[in-house]
Structure 1
Amino acid sequence: MPAPFPPPDLPSGDTDVLVTLVVDELTRLLTQDTARRPADPVDTAAEARRHALLRLRVLAGVKQTVRHLEDQAAHAAAESGAGYPEIGRAVSMSRQGARRRWPGLITNNTDHSTRPTPRSS
């Protein structure tokens, strides 16, 4: 049985280590068919290159998938009332960085019921 996920308040350094281990294991599993070792050193070099390129392709796919999941989470946060400052802090970027990363995410139609309404003079 797999270990339970770490609590959300896990220090970011520990999270980084755990994510690295999980992604490395996933990559190993997805490239497992290339573990064969040919006898000829020339073939070994070619196989090592092929395996490295396959690993790179898998990691690029993981990166794209994580980015998509990050987009979904940002949209969910905005729909639940989070603003660019909060979203930016969640991904270690400024409000402006979050606004550039997800333009149009926060609109005037978003419910801001927890924020005070400015008064006109």
Structure 2
Amino acid sequence: MRILLVEDEERMAQALCEILRQENYEVDHWGDGIQGLYAIETDVYDVAILDVMLPGKNGFEITKEARRQGIRTPILMLTAKSDVDDKVTGLDCGADDYLTKPFMPKELLARIRALGRRNIHSPDGTLT
């Protein structure tokens, strides 16, 4: 499974990359929202994990723009923003799941697996 990770906090990003790679996931990491949006626009991912508070563009903006462009990659918001209104905003702007920090790695991995099951590739390579 190929995962896009957009996280600006370096220690958190390193820990997440290690957790994901231990599960044999291929991970592309970007540290700001502009790079993250470019990555999701120009590459194919099975799942995207986005922080909300990012330099350049926040995770909500990335999600809205990706959905506006018809990008259907499953998006998981992984953020310290735990207010109910933030969760509603994230889900309403197009995120498929929302997990707050701190989190347990096994829960994150289970959510990634669930999102991956929903993201089925059709025979011609398009996402369905």
Q: Using structure 2 for the length normalisation, give the TM-score.
A: 0.25
More helix by share: 1
- Which structure is richer in relative contact order (CA contacts within 8 A, separation 6 or more)? 2
Q: Which protein shows a greater Rg?
A: 1
